[in-house]
């Protein structure tokens, strides 16, 4: 085959790939096909299907590829800076511009080109159609792997490279099958390092609090940030029963069935939720019941969480802290939040607390990385 024939063949394939995507064809919406389509806009006149497959195998998932940092992407043979920037740009768009990213989430409901011709037009001066609704991800997940994350984090190598972290986890997780280790590595990195960087804050904290409840609390917080279904499960099933101090496992299943009536993964998700709650120290579980109560607030774990939820130094409303869903999810004793803030002030980890008339505020003075450096040094 001549060079020109090869170019024409690739051009035809790319046109068909884009056409199938626009028509909402299922075979154009697989992870590999979506990544391949993205790469066609950065790599001209080359078959990028093998590269798409190699990227997903290397990083563990399509989501992990999008979340990878520029340095790790450029280490992959065939990925140059232009391609890495495009992948990073796609990741930024999906995180920061929900309307744009909803296109990918809703593409299976997208009308075909023929159907689109018959749809009513809207005023082009409007920034978005009035009837447009963003469909949220379901949040169903089948594995927790939180216990393993808590055990492995203190052992991670000294690097911000997720590629190196992944290789370490694949080589050291206790599961016998390599594919299982790869899959569970993806769970751990996506939940503990959702921004695509093995951030120094969590790694330092993990080494300092290895085997201690502070690390368990911080890892559970990160888990819930990555899996927002946990917030709903706790607020709908556990917090309402805090007085009784227990619920049946079946209550979790019932909630999930009501939330996702057509899902076939309820049993797996129920087990994963209970595993995460147990590993995070939120509940004690037996075969039938989950037992729980409000928990002690550990000052350094509390400091980590509030500096994550309120990342910019400055004055913050105390009510917004007390009603923060992630704070509530930790089942920390609500009567101890204010005393713990005063303890952090006495430790010089926050600046001040103001309680004047109806104005209740606290003031932070550093970002998360500086905080963790201080409490771990």
What pLDDT score was predicted for residue 24?
66
- Kindly calculate the radius of gyration of the chain based on its CA atoms and give it in whole angstroms: 24
Buried b (16+ CB within 10 A) or exposed e, 162-180: bbbbbebbbeebeeeeeee
d(CA 79, CA 48): 10
Nearest to 377 by CA among 200, 219, 222: 200
What's residue 244's pLDDT? 95
pLDDT tens per residue, the chain (377 residues)?
A: 454 444 455 557 778 878 777 776 666 678 888 888 888 888 876 888 889 888 888 877 787 788 788 888 888 988 988 888 888 888 777 655 544 444 444 444 444 444 444 444 434 444 443 333 333 344 789 999 999 999 999 999 998 889 999 999 999 999 999 999 999 999 999 999 988 788 999 999 999 999 999 999 999 999 999 999 999 999 999 999 999 999 999 999 999 999 999 999 999 999 999 999 999 999 999 999 999 999 999 999 999 999 999 999 999 999 999 999 999 999 999 999 999 999 999 999 999 999 887 788 999 999 999 999 999 98
Look up residue 86 and give its two tokens.
């495009």
């Amino acid at each position: 085959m001549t060079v020109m024939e090869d170019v024409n063949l690739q051009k035809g394939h790319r046109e068909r790939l884009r056409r199938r995507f626009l028509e909402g064809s299922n075979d154009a919406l697989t992870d590999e096909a979506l990544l391949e389509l993205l790469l066609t806009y950065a790599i001209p006149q080359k078959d990028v299907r093998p590269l798409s497959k190699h990227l997903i195998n290397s990083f563990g998932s399509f989501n992990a590829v999008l979340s990878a940092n520029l340095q790790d992407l450029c280490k992959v043979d065939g990925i140059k800076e232009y391609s890495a920037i495009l992948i990073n740009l796609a990741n930024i768009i999906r995180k920061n511009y929900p309307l744009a990213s909803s296109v990918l989430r809703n593409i299976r409901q997208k009308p075909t080109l023929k159907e689109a011709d018959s749809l009513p037009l809207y005023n082009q001066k409007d920034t978005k159609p009035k009837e447009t609704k963003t469909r949220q991800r379901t949040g169903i997940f089948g594995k927790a792997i939180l216990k393993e994350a808590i055990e492995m984090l203190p052992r991670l190598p000294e690097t911000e490279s997720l590629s190196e972290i992944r290789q370490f986890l694949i080589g050291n997780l206790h599961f016998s099958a390599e594919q299982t280790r790869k899959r569970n590595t993806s769970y751990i990195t996506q939940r503990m390092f959702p921004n695509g960087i093995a951030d120094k804050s969590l790694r330092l904290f993990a080494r300092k609090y290895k085997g201690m409840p502070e690390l368990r609390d911080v890892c559970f917080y990160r888990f819930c940030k990555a899996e927002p279904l946990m917030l709903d499960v706790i607020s709908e099933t556990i917090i309402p029963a805090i007085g009784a101090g227990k619920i049946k496992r079946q209550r979790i299943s019932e909630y999930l069935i009501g939330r996702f009536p057509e899902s076939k993964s309820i049993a797996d998700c129920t087990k994963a939720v209970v595993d995460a709650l147990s590993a995070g120290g939120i509940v004690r579980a037996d075969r039938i019941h989950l037992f729980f109560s409000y928990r002690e607030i550990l000052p350094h774990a509390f400091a980590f969480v509030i500096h994550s939820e309120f990342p910019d130094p400055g004055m913050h409303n105390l009510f917004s802290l007390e009603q923060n869903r992630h704070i509530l999810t930790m089942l920390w004793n609500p009567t101890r939040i204010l005393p713990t803030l005063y303890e952090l002030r006495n430790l010089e980890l926050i600046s001040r607390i103001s309680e004047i008339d109806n104005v209740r505020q606290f003031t932070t003075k550093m970002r998360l990385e500086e905080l963790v450096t201080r409490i771990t040094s």
